Structure 1
Amino acid sequence: MRRKTLQIPVGNIFIGSNYPIIVQSMTNTATTNIDDTVDQCIKLFNANAKLVRITAQNVKEAEALKLIKQNLLTKGYNQPIAADIHFNPQLALIAAQYVDKIRINPGNFVNLFPNNISYTSAQYQQELNAIEIEIEKLLPILINNNVAVRIGVNKGSLSPRLIDKYGNNIEAAIESAIESALIFNKLNFNNLVISIKTSSVYETIKANRLLTSKLDSLGLLYPIHLGVTEAGIDKQGIIKSTIAIGNLLLDGIGDTIRVSLTGDPLKEIPAAQNILNSYRKFVPLPLLPIYDYTLEYCPKIFTNNNLADGLPPSDIDFIEINNLNPFEVISKKLETNKYVNLKLNTSQFDLYSLSIILGRGWIDGWLRDIYLVDNNLKQDTLNDIWEILQATGKRKTLTEVISCPSCGRTMYDIEKITKEVKERFSKYPGLTLAVMGCIVNGPGEMKEAQAGIVGNGLNKANIYIYGKLVSKNIPINDVVDEFEKQLKIYNLI
């Protein structure tokens, strides 16, 4: 059953539990290139995106939103657009005059003490007061222009103030969202949507479950936007997003979604629609346990041949599922057993359904091993299963490459570089690499990776190892070679 929320007007649509789940995306054009940005918005709207977000990283870009909105209306597109604001509250004051929704990142909206690692109680309160002052300045413009706000928390860019108090963890991310929501609520502004994103599937699921529980206990019934940040490229990004978004939707959590895929944002819309179509097949979800997340058990993938972990031992009890009622079969077995092992023919399932079923089982801890009984199991299909297992964090057999979807701040071909990194460094289990679009959020949001490439200007990039800048302003055509050199220097490969 879907979580009950307020119904939030955003332009000519509503976001909330009484309305269909909204699919949205974000442009990756330069915002000041009005024609390109308008054209990409139109393509996304024609593909059935209901909301498009546009970066506004300086005054010129924030002012450009006026022409973008005007041009869209002139061309007959009255769907809402949102402005993505980081670091500078003044940009929100400008953008809110022209768009239908503002996304603010509370982790960098106000930072009075940028060099602080630890905070006194007085400094903590001083910064909290400063956030309230900036929000108060914004409110008249929001109200006069009927503009909604998304409080968009990203675990990779949390406020140092909250990291000092809680650690760099889910608890700090939830507190970041709650404290901002409470300020807006105190000031009688409730046209809010809230999101918490991480690059970890497990953390994204856990954070949103805890967030909604806390919001509801406080009577803050705000809609939730779902997504996995830096989900990655192609199938990897689709699998990670499907596990997290699909299973949160099954929990009744989520009113708007974005599948963040590296590259052309048009690819995001069909992927999001497929997630919506897949999760609906499993509604209503029968009762299933949620165990504490641990790495005590390493799941195995058995097959009829010598692929993966080979044939299963005879003493493992498997239950067979099909694509009609898999969760009902699983729930019945779990009435008398703590765990299940699943037997399935993958040809009966699409990638989205497999990601939701297996992802939920491994994340929530009730699934152990699986047995793929396909007579002609294809290596590509098996690779997909490995990707699903890897995305849950329960067993790593591949190098993980996290990469941002890019936006107008990205000034190089991030899709090409991500593919090169994935191909060249694919066989290092346990290694996590990052390819990020820009230095605005890149260094902070790649904290889950041991090493990463971060764009820094037109066709230039920096290289980071363990969060430390080790190579700067590398021409983009040379950056993967330099990256390999640095990985070897630091004994990562």
Structure 2
Amino acid sequence: ELRYAYPLHLGVTEAGDGDEGRIKSAMGIGALLEDGLGDTIRVSLTEDPVNEVPVGFAIVKKYNDRLLVKGDKGHLPVKHVVEHEMRSRLYELLPFEPFGYSRRSSSQIDGAGHPVGGDALPGVETMAKTSLFDPDGLAREITARLAPDKPEDAIRSEYVGVAVGSVEDLPPLSRALDALGELRSKVVISTADTALVEKLLPLSGRVRLDIVEGEALSTSFIEALHDNEAVVEFCFIHEKASENVPAEVLVRLASKLHAKGMRRVMLSILSREPLYAVRKLALELKKAAIDYPLVVRYRRREGERFGVLIESAVQTGTLFCDGIGDVLALDTLLSPSDEISLGFNILQAARIRMSKTEFISCPGCGRTYFELEKATALIKQRVSHLKGLKIGIMGCIVNGPGEMADADFGYVGSGKGRISLYVGKECVEENLPEAEALERLIELIRENGKWVDPV
């Protein structure tokens, strides 16, 4: 607005600690860096400041590498979603609202007992790693990921993917599915072989057809398709083509399916960097007035755990912050528990699905006169089971009340060994001894009807 190209400093304040803090930082900063915004960054974790340094370098590495390649022209905008001739048009042509949040409108379908699309909460899908030729082991892994004995709102994989390559895979697949019983409806069977699709449709709740670059689907195959059994997902495997190609292929296909009356259809793009390709897909679907639900897929099967957390948070979390996505599907080298937690952490950081307590905690500074990291750990230990509750933990009153303004309850340092407690934006207890503050915080949560006993 000011028409001055001042350098921009980016940071996510009060990100917290652990994986959650790193994911929030990567999403908030990385989303802007992906759009070409930002010159310096600051990572703020409720940890030793030394721990912030590798997170910062990991977030900026991709963009610094890009500048090294582009040299003096590194500042020029990258042509991704918005074509040159569209830049003068209004932002309504974008696939998302750039100055606020609104979720992409999609039709709601039944996804194996879970509603998908519409105003339903986004689901989480992970990929099974056990070989099909160990059907009993595969069934055990799928059951462990789905965790059917846990409460309905527990953190667990809601869908599990299984890849099928040829007709020889069908007997062991059937054996694994038979062992699962009713849970088979939550299995997503993927294949690139169109000849197998008809055989797979009766077997599970969703069948994913992988569309390989350079290969076309026959007219007879499309005409024979139906959605009377499983939901059908069409997934473009994006490798070397530009970001425009997956959208062009999928929208052309979606138009044909929409015209023949198929409603139980989902679309996705499988890529290590799905952000721009999925934005382009959402844009073209909007222009075509097609509202099929979208699966946001991310696959990376190599590298360190830390790199997977950062990259997946930027590539998928940005889309959910844009309001794009109805299911988050991850296929990584992480352990099942880490992969499932990553999915829910990304959705929570995007504030689209709250699956546990949200902690808003600062990194501390010279004005902090209590052990912030220790206090944060103790508070988490006592109240982390309160799903959806937002608790601010701030080192001092200078920035604390303002930066935790959307918290339900606040725990704020007010002097040496002294704590003030907040309900919303109101300070209700001042200068409590630190030794008493945590118990009083729990009492306040009880008094306000927000407490439930841990299971």
Counterpart of 1:241, as a letter, is S
- For 2:416 and 2:61, locate their aligned partners in 1 and report how far apart those are by CA, in whole Å: 39
Which residue is equivalent to 1:286? 80
- For 2:63 and 2:270, locate their aligned partners in 1 and report how far apart those are by CA, in whole Å: 17
Which residue is equivalent to 1:177? none
Residue 480 in structure 1 maps to residue 438 in structure 2 = yes
Which residue is equivalent to 2:169? none
Which of the residues 109, 120, 123 maps onto 1:300? 123
Q: Deviations over 1:391-422 (max 9, x none)?
A: 11111111100011111111111111112222
In structure 2, relative to structure 1, the CA distance for the partners of 1:285 and 1:415 (3 Å cut) is farther
Query: Any residues of structure 2 matched to 1:2-41 within 5 Å, and which?
Result: none
Paired residues of 1:432 and 1:450 also in contact (CA < 8 A): yes
Counterpart of 1:384, as a letter, is L
Counterpart of 1:422, as a letter, is K
- For 2:398 and 2:449, locate their aligned partners in 1 and report how far apart those are by CA, in whole Å: 28
Query: Any residues of structure 2 matched to 1:359-438 within 5 Å, and which?
Result: 359-373=317-331, 377-438=335-396
Tell me the secondary structure at the aligned position of residue 350 of structure 1.
Answer: helix
Which residue is equivalent to 1:319? 268
- For 2:4 and 2:269, locate their aligned partners in 1 and report how far apart those are by CA, in whole Å: 42
- For 1:375 and 1:256, locate their aligned partners in 2 and report how far apart those are by CA, in whole Å: 31
Counterpart of 2:278, as a letter, is I
Deviation at 1:286, TM superposition (A): 2.4
Which residue is equivalent to 1:173? none
- For 2:28 and 2:80, locate their aligned partners in 1 and report how far apart those are by CA, in whole Å: 18
Deviation at 1:440, TM superposition (A): 1.8
Which residue is equivalent to 2:285? 337
Give percent identity, aligned residues only. Answer: 33
Q: Deviations over 1:174-228 (max 9, x none)?
A: xxxxxxxxxxxxxxxxxxxxxxxxxxxxxxxxxxxxxxxx2xxx22221111011
Q: Deviations over 1:472-491 (max 9, x none)?
A: 22222332222111111121
Q: Deviations over 1:332-383 (max 9, x none)?
A: 6446435631344454461111000111111112322123356984212211
Paired residues of 1:279 and 1:356 also in contact (CA < 8 A): no
Paired residues of 1:333 and 1:340 also in contact (CA < 8 A): no
Counterpart of 1:383, as a letter, is S
Counterpart of 1:225, as a letter, is H
Which of the residues 28, 41, 44 maps onto 1:260? 44
TM-score by length of 1: 0.52
Tell me the secondary structure at the aligned position of residue 285 of structure 2.
Answer: coil
Paired residues of 2:414 and 2:431 also in contact (CA < 8 A): yes
Paired residues of 2:328 and 2:343 also in contact (CA < 8 A): no
Counterpart of 1:245, as a letter, is I
Which residue is equivalent to 1:243? 27
In structure 2, relative to structure 1, the CA distance for the partners of 1:428 and 1:376 (3 Å cut) is same
Tell me the secondary structure at the aligned position of residue 367 of structure 1.
Answer: coil
Tell me the secondary structure at the aligned position of residue 373 of structure 2.
Answer: helix
Counterpart of 2:4, as a letter, is L
Paired residues of 2:279 and 2:319 also in contact (CA < 8 A): no
Tell me the secondary structure at the aligned position of residue 268 of structure 2.
Answer: strand
Which residue is equivalent to 1:309? 158
- For 2:63 and 2:125, locate their aligned partners in 1 and report how far apart those are by CA, in whole Å: 26
Tell me the secondary structure at the aligned position of residue 342 of structure 2.
Answer: helix
Q: Deviations over 1:141-185 (max 9, x none)?
A: xxxxxxxxxxxxxxxxxxxxxxxxxxxxxxxxxxxxxxxxxxxxx
Tell me the secondary structure at the aligned position of residue 271 of structure 1.
Answer: helix
Number of matched residues? Answer: 276
Q: Deviations over 1:432-491 (max 9, x none)?
A: 000001112212222110101000111111111122222222222332222111111121
Paired residues of 1:247 and 1:356 also in contact (CA < 8 A): yes
In structure 2, relative to structure 1, the CA distance for the partners of 1:251 and 1:329 (3 Å cut) is closer
In structure 2, relative to structure 1, the CA distance for the partners of 1:222 and 1:233 (3 Å cut) is same
- For 2:449 and 2:277, locate their aligned partners in 1 and report how far apart those are by CA, in whole Å: 47
Bigger CA radius of gyration: 2
- For 1:234 and 1:488, locate their aligned partners in 2 and report how far apart those are by CA, in whole Å: 27
Q: Which runs of 5+ in 2 are unaligned?
A: 68-77, 83-93, 104-118, 129-141, 147-155, 160-185, 189-204, 207-230, 234-265, 287-292
Which residue is equivalent to 1:133? none
- For 2:404 and 2:44, locate their aligned partners in 1 and report how far apart those are by CA, in whole Å: 15
Paired residues of 2:95 and 2:283 also in contact (CA < 8 A): no
Q: Deviations over 1:80-123 (max 9, x none)?
A: xxxxxxxxxxxxxxxxxxxxxxxxxxxxxxxxxxxxxxxxxxxx
Paired residues of 1:409 and 1:438 also in contact (CA < 8 A): yes
Residue 464 in structure 1 maps to residue 418 in structure 2 = no
Tell me the secondary structure at the aligned position of residue 391 of structure 2.
Answer: strand
- For 2:419 and 2:267, locate their aligned partners in 1 and report how far apart those are by CA, in whole Å: 49
Paired residues of 2:300 and 2:333 also in contact (CA < 8 A): no
In structure 2, relative to structure 1, the CA distance for the partners of 1:340 and 1:253 (3 Å cut) is same
- For 1:433 and 1:322, locate their aligned partners in 2 and report how far apart those are by CA, in whole Å: 35
In structure 2, relative to structure 1, the CA distance for the partners of 1:286 and 1:365 (3 Å cut) is same
In structure 2, relative to structure 1, the CA distance for the partners of 1:320 and 1:445 (3 Å cut) is closer
- For 1:442 and 1:328, locate their aligned partners in 2 and report how far apart those are by CA, in whole Å: 36
- For 1:376 and 1:225, locate their aligned partners in 2 and report how far apart those are by CA, in whole Å: 32
- For 2:66 and 2:336, locate their aligned partners in 1 and report how far apart those are by CA, in whole Å: 26
Query: Any residues of structure 2 matched to 1:92-241 within 5 Å, and which?
Result: 214=1, 218-241=2-25
Paired residues of 1:285 and 1:327 also in contact (CA < 8 A): no
In structure 2, relative to structure 1, the CA distance for the partners of 1:483 and 1:253 (3 Å cut) is same
Structure ranking higher on relative contact order (CA contacts 8 Å, 6+ apart): 2
Paired residues of 2:369 and 2:395 also in contact (CA < 8 A): yes
Q: Which runs of 5+ in 1 are unaligned?
A: 1-213
- For 1:399 and 1:359, locate their aligned partners in 2 and report how far apart those are by CA, in whole Å: 19
TM-score by length of 2: 0.56
Paired residues of 1:461 and 1:473 also in contact (CA < 8 A): yes
